[in-house]
Chain A
């Protein structure tokens, strides 16, 4: 009896943890479009100070993740299933990493997975674990594949109803912290955003 109870407990525990992770992701992925303001801080070796940048992000379940940096330089990056579409301050647009397997395509996929809370993609790519409650949670993502583990050590996420913080730790010692606030929900991206999502 006791061993049976232990077995049940053993089975139930990870299931419950999984449940929290699943529930968090499900809730994050609910709105068709989420917009937010972000502040990003990158710590890069060989640099004397952190690099700060600000801008807006738009997460569209349909189109991907749009990263619009407004300062210190204007740059829009659309992470789409096709690759990374870059739009510079001068309006020049290019598609990067349309080849599968290229690091940039992988990164585009990861960004979509994380910000778009794509459960299937995240679980295929990372060993994911979640702590806390549905209202206040943290998540740890460690890359499964050695190709990614070579440059990415860990990604930590935190939030509640929305994803509020992303910390990326690279194996090179560089790290990036992104804080998101002023969330707004919409049904679909606006025309300007759609134009940036479209491949050149």
Chain B
């Protein structure tokens, strides 16, 4: 096969891959913005893990909008206009400004079957205390100016038990209240109206996000046009995810454009020719194309972190082509592609092997997000490496007409001076000085494992979210209690034991509230115990009851009918009854969150003012665990971060072995020293700059190890002329710095830390690269 045929075949393969990828991406970039998807399972308990996913899906779909206007009617009109527009736009469903009139029979239908077994806490306590007086309670109910207003007629609920039970389960909505079907609040001269809805589909699906945001925008435009002066706040996972996605896309654009332009300029300055730029971008582009295609095919989607990382990989993938082009320049008129490939192959192979080693190490982390980044790099670098051997030779057959000595002279002189300075005892002294200067920086290092590093929350959206939470009291945190038992009823029993403690915390002010199924469906035993209490204190002496009722003024028929109603209402309310009633709609996600086969429920918490006390609420309760995903994630990030030291040492050791196989032990150490100094400098830079040490910084340092050693290898291996080698090393470092360095300006903290760690390591490795030449005959 001739060189040219091989090149054409390679080009054809790139073309096919590009067409395939274009076809796959024509339906939109499958970009994953869900943080959970990039993390490994954090819960020891697989059911808990499943519940976290189910719950975040159920709650994540919700969207809330708050409309405010100085005039009440206009605030309502704006809300209605928005709801109508957003509904017809598609993408959101159930967008509601005004609730349809609820059927007052619903409560009765659900609970009347056992209404004497359902007691408000205060009534149960009063009955159990023995101080309860039948006649006093009757009279109080009759003379209270607000007694028996809602609920059942007084003759059916003469003691008010059922009315108070119903009142005790009424949902709370912060400072807002239901008025005419609107959830409304009036404050500081403005009326606020809440509109709620649900995203139609998976909030992390790109198409779903786009449609949901478009529906909001269309509705908001219409509402503002109809009612100028309205203010609209919005919140919902979908908005955060969409803004994170937009930020990642613009990050990627910025990094890709910035690094391509920068790399092109640097290469143009060095080679004074467009051909090396074209070849370099072709080689790096082939690698990135192949990596993207492979991951889209295998994983089905790209995480937003991978995307931004992929854009910056250009700077590293282009290094191999640069060395090849430098060899071309150095050979001058004696150039043949075959000899060129032969000349650069050793350096490229050692360089690619050390890089792959570093990435493979990362790929082993049981961390889907990071392992995807590593696999992306593995595929990308291997393809770029192959392209230098199979694609570029066919495209670079003509020798350079420029005098190699003249064009690489500057680099040769620079290298000579720099390695002259960094040699012998002076080199040791400089290294010692640098390490000494690093010490204060190392001492200032601070770890940070906050999960929020992964999710950039747009500040404007976060403010709106906080305002809506404060107003509505829908302040659901990220943690919850998971209750399990052998049967539905055991779950309810255990849950009720928990909610008793939560209510104590609520009255002590440590917690604002909670949501639990057992508040709506008390366990069977509790219902039976309540009914027994009512039987004992009210219905034990039925004649006396009738006499008292008639005595305070009830008609005899009504008085005599009551015991019959007590006897008939004897069927405990079950979870199945509750689930079948429309009343349970807003709370159904609390029950059987891991599927119907696992009897379990979730108790969510609202407004944790004293989290440490709340976290103790389930102490010594069977079958109850506190699931705290954010803390678990932080612990996990911390665990991997803590492995940084040993992990980096192991990686360095493995690289040392690879290098020793080629160069022998002592020279191998010399090749490794520059990058180790680079790492030391990078660590110190984090300390001096006050940037926290995170798992992502550690990932940057790991990769820096694999990339930074390349420059020493290139120098050590050398190509025909020292000047050309030095130029190739300088160019490689510049392009890599441009690629990854731009990540240091990303909006995602994780990527920022990654970029900074890598860029600082590379800069340091470059600075000390001449040390790799020590002990080598010149």
Q: Which residues of the partner chain B approach A104 to less than 8 Å between Cβ atoms?
A: 146, 167
Selected from B150, B164, B181, the residue in CB contact (under 8 A) with A146 is B181
Given the known A-B contacts A67-B145, A144-B180, A172-B153, are A124 and B186 also in contact in the complex, defined by CB atoms under 8 Å? Answer: yes
Contact A46 B170 (CB under 8 A): no
Those of B142-189 within 8 Å (CB) of chain A? 142-146, 148-151, 153-155, 164, 167, 170-181, 186
Q: How far is the CA of A176 from the CA of B146 in the complex (A)?
A: 10
Contact A101 B178 (CB under 8 A): yes
Q: Which of B230-238, B534-542, B552-560, B611-619 lies on the face that meets chain A?
A: B552-560
B interface secondary structure, majority: loop
Q: Please tell me if B104 contacts chain A, counting CB pairs below 8 Å.
A: yes
0/1 interface trace, chain A 170-200, chain B, CB 8 Å (1 if under)? 1010101010000000000000000000000
Central interface residue in B146, B167, B181, B558, by most chain A CB within 10 Å: B146
Q: Which residues of the partner chain A approach B153 to less than 8 Å between Cβ atoms?
A: 45-46, 172
Q: How far is the CB of B213 from chain A (nearest CB, A)?
A: 31
Q: Please tell me if A103 contacts chain B, counting CB pairs below 8 Å.
A: yes
Closest to B135 in A: A73
Q: Please tell me if B364 contacts chain A, counting CB pairs below 8 Å.
A: no
Q: Which residues of the partner chain A approach B173 to less than 8 Å between Cβ atoms?
A: 100-101
Q: Which of A1-9, A25-33, A83-91, A134-142 lies on the face that meets chain B?
A: A83-91
Q: How far is the CB of B173 from chain A (nearest CB, A)?
A: 6
Contact A101 B170 (CB under 8 A): yes
Q: Please give the number of chain B residues whose Cβ is less than 8 angstroms from any Cβ of chain A in the complex.
A: 41
Q: Please tell me if A53 contacts chain B, counting CB pairs below 8 Å.
A: yes
Q: Please tell me if B139 contacts chain A, counting CB pairs below 8 Å.
A: yes
Q: How far is the CA of A162 from the CA of B153 in the complex (A)?
A: 33
Q: Which residues of the partner chain A approach B186 to less than 8 Å between Cβ atoms?
A: 124
Q: Please give the number of chain A residues whose Cβ is less than 8 angstroms from any Cβ of chain B in the complex.
A: 50
Q: How far is the CA of A104 from the CA of B149 in the complex (A)?
A: 9
Q: Please tell me if A56 contacts chain B, counting CB pairs below 8 Å.
A: no
Contact B180 A48 (CB under 8 A): no
Contact A101 B171 (CB under 8 A): yes
Q: Please tell me if A22 contacts chain B, counting CB pairs below 8 Å.
A: no
Given the known A-B contacts A46-B153, A151-B150, are A73 and B555 also in contact in the complex, defined by CB atoms under 8 Å? Answer: no
Q: How far is the CB of B546 from chain A (nearest CB, A)?
A: 14
Q: Please tell me if A106 contacts chain B, counting CB pairs below 8 Å.
A: yes
Q: Which residues of the partner chain B approach A72 to less than 8 Å between Cβ atoms?
A: 139, 143
Given the known A-B contacts A48-B553, A101-B171, A111-B145, are A146 and B101 also in contact in the complex, defined by CB atoms under 8 Å? Answer: yes
Contact B143 A69 (CB under 8 A): yes
Q: Which residues of the partner chain A approach B554 to less than 8 Å between Cβ atoms?
A: 46-48
Q: Please tell me if B126 contacts chain A, counting CB pairs below 8 Å.
A: yes
Contact B146 A102 (CB under 8 A): no
Contact A73 B143 (CB under 8 A): yes
Q: Please tell me if B122 contacts chain A, counting CB pairs below 8 Å.
A: yes
Q: Please tell me if B596 contacts chain A, counting CB pairs below 8 Å.
A: no
Selected from A44, A92, A124, A178, the residue in CB contact (under 8 A) with B145 is A178
Q: Which residues of the partner chain A approach B180 to less than 8 Å between Cβ atoms?
A: 144-147
Q: Please tell me if B44 contacts chain A, counting CB pairs below 8 Å.
A: no
Q: How far is the CA of A105 from the CA of B171 in the complex (A)?
A: 13
0/1 interface trace, chain B 71-90, chain A, CB 8 Å (1 if under)? 01000000000000000000
0/1 interface trace, chain B 40-76, chain A, CB 8 Å (1 if under)? 0000000000000000000000000000000010000
Those of B329-383 within 8 Å (CB) of chain A? none
Q: How far is the CA of A48 from the CA of B142 in the complex (A)?
A: 13
Q: Which residues of the partner chain A approach B154 to less than 8 Å between Cβ atoms?
A: 44-47, 174
Q: How far is the CB of B557 from chain A (nearest CB, A)?
A: 8
Contact A151 B149 (CB under 8 A): yes
Q: Which residues of the partner chain B approach A147 to less than 8 Å between Cβ atoms?
A: 178-181
Q: Please tell me if B131 contacts chain A, counting CB pairs below 8 Å.
A: yes
Contact A75 B140 (CB under 8 A): yes
Selected from A51, A84, A102, the residue in CB contact (under 8 A) with B143 is A51
Q: Please tell me if B136 contacts chain A, counting CB pairs below 8 Å.
A: yes
Contact B177 A106 (CB under 8 A): yes
Closest to A178 in B: B145
Q: How far is the CB of A173 from chain B (nearest CB, A)?
A: 9
Q: How far is the CB of A71 from chain B (nearest CB, A)?
A: 9
Q: Please tell me if A37 contacts chain B, counting CB pairs below 8 Å.
A: no
Q: How far is the CA of A88 from the CA of B132 in the complex (A)?
A: 11
Contact B139 A99 (CB under 8 A): no
The 6 listed contacts between A and B (C-beta, < 8 Å) are A42-B143, A100-B175, A101-B178, A124-B72, A145-B179, A147-B178
List A residues at the B interface (Cβ < 8 Å). Answer: 40, 42, 44-51, 53, 67, 69, 72-73, 75, 77, 84, 88-90, 92, 94, 96-97, 99-108, 111, 124, 144-147, 150-152, 168, 170, 172, 174, 176, 178
Given contact pairs A69-B144, A99-B172, enumerate 16 new A-B contacts (beta carbons under 8 Å): A44-B148, A44-B154, A46-B154, A47-B554, A49-B553, A72-B143, A75-B140, A94-B122, A99-B170, A101-B172, A101-B176, A102-B170, A111-B146, A145-B178, A145-B179, A174-B154
List B residues at the A interface (Cβ < 8 Å). Answer: 72, 101, 104, 122, 126, 131, 136, 139-140, 142-146, 148-151, 153-155, 164, 167, 170-181, 186, 552-555, 558
The 9 lowest CB-CB distance pairs between A and B, nearest first, are A46-B155, A53-B143, A73-B139, A145-B180, A101-B177, A107-B146, A103-B150, A102-B170, A99-B172
